[in-house]
Amino acid sequence: MKVGFFQFAPKFGEIQHNLNAILKAIEEFSGDLLVFPELAFSGYQFVGKAEVEELAQDAGSSRVFQTIQEALHGRSLHVVLGFAERADGCLYNSAMLLGPRGPIGTYRKTHLFFEETFWFAPGNTGFQVWDIGVAKIGLMVCFDWFYPESARTLALKGADILCHPSNLVLPYCPDAMVTRCLENGVFAVTANRIGLEERGGKSPLRFIGMSEIVAPNGRILYRAQESDSQLYGCDIDVTQARKKRINPYNDLLKDRQPQWYKW
Ligand code: ACM
């Protein structure tokens, strides 16, 4: 199967502009799975909760998702998109998996980063895995990488590929995902954004790019540049993520000793 990411710089608050860039990437990409950054429609650096409320989408009825749905119609492509979600009177930093037949599932970011804690509620979905036929897809969002439990939970639930929409500002994640993949025997597609946001007199945030695709043996199949937009895809053999045997005597997940992991 062919998986990829679209690394770009969403313009803050310009939903139609960002949607157009996303639609163009969907049109140009030939493959099975395409991952977009965190908060891909709205931008990242909010200055108040009212702004998040204004830019948030309702997963069930948003025109943005209806348009993406139309773009996927008749294709075999699945996409994962990060977005600000309005649901049940709360705001979440979410990611949605959509396929040609409609939305498949929404994951709400568990581990909020920095000022996200002002605007968003911590996710209440838990980590989830969906079977899209060619692979089992697990979703995590950006700072979830810092908690190894996120990737581990997805692997234990059967994920072959971790789809990881991101707005990374710290430099550590691209290298850390090598370990996340190796210790769980999974692929990961981290789709990060690029560019600078400096809003409301706050300290500027520079996003680090370096979106990447990592294999279950920890090999970086591809890593993008720090500041260029890029639509990238490569072929992977998903069966590699189903071989959890390390050697004749060790099985990665079966050899866990969870009775000793409590404190
Ligand atoms: C992050 O979680 N956006 C760093």
- Banded model confidence at residue 243, pLDDT cuts 50, 70, 90: very high
The residue to which tokens 């069930």 are assigned:
60
Q: Closest ligand 1 atom, CA of 143? A: 2
The residue to which tokens 């897809």 are assigned:
137
Question: Quick one: pLDDT at residue 90?
Answer: 97
Contact 193, 36 (CB under 8 A): no
Ligand 1, atom 2: closest residue by C-alpha: 143
Instruction: Please provide residue 226's backbone torsions phi and psi, each rounded to the nearest 5 degrees.
Output: -80, -25
**Tens digit of each residue's pLDDT (9 = 90 or more) over 59-92:** 999 999 999 999 999 999 999 999 999 999 999 9
| Ligand 1 binding residues, C-beta < 6 A | 38, 113, 142-143, 167-169
Q: CATH for 2-260?
A: 3.60.110.10
- Banded model confidence at residue 211, pLDDT cuts 50, 70, 90: very high
Kindly give, in sequence order, each residue whose CB lies less than 8 Å from that of residue 15, ignoring residues fewer than 6 positions away: 41, 42, 55, 64
- For the chain, the domains span 2-260
Find the largest Cα–Cα distance for the chain: 58
Kindly give, in sequence order, each residue whose CB lies less than 8 Å from that of residue 146, ignoring residues fewer than 6 positions away: 111, 173, 176
- Banded model confidence at residue 244, pLDDT cuts 50, 70, 90: very high
Distance 137 CA to ligand 1 centre (A): 21
Q: What is the mean pLDDT of the chain?
A: 98
Active-site option among 38, 51, 116, 212:
38
Distance 185 CA to ligand 1 centre (A): 24
**Tens digit of each residue's pLDDT (9 = 90 or more) over 109-130:** 999 999 999 999 999 999 999 9
Does the annotation count 38 as an active-site position? yes
CA dihedral 205, 210, 211, 212 (to 10 degrees): -150
**pTM score, whole prediction:** 0.98
